[in-house]
Amino acid sequence: MKKITIKRWAALLIALSAPVFLVGPASGADRSYSRGGDAQIVVRRIPTLGRFVGVQFEIDGRNAGTLLYGHTFRTAMPSGHHILTVRGTPRRTFNEPWITSFNIHGGQTYTFTAYDAGTQVALRRN
């Protein structure tokens, strides 16, 4: 029986998950509330976060998408109070979600950077 390394498991996980990320609501740019005056949320990731680390987003408890290496997450949101939850995957490395609540205003762009905060992936406002 062949021994499977962590890198092979990560590559396999990404390869099997890629169709879900590209087709479903997980493609952040496609997920839009499409109302006039929406705010834009843009998240980039620092390269040192890791090539095999994904960043999953939930907005108000709903899956909003996943940010993979070399990509940018974008979504439109209506004005108001929202709760943003960020999780790093694989979760074995990042076992705690990062949760924040904030008010957003229509017509504004909110830009964040995802980074490694130890036991979680967190966002820093730019």
Q: Residue 106: which residues within 8 A CB-CB, separation 6 or more?
A: 36, 37, 38, 39, 78, 79
Does residue 1 lie within any of the structural domains? no
Task: Show the domain range for 88.
Answer: 6-125
pTM metric for this prediction: 0.68
The tally of domains found in the chain comes to: 1
- pLDDT per position as a tens digit, 53-110: 999 999 999 999 999 999 999 999 999 999 999 999 887 788 899 999 989 999 999 9
Which residue, among 92, 89, 84, has the nearest Cα to 121 in the 3D structure? 89
Does residue 30 lie within any of the structural domains? yes
In this prediction, residue 22 has a pLDDT band, given cuts at 50, 70 and 90, of: very low
Residue 31 pLDDT? 44
Identify the CATH number of the domain in which residue 64 sits: 2.60.40
Does residue 58 lie within any of the structural domains? yes
Distance between CA 5 and CA 9 in Å, rounded?
Answer: 6
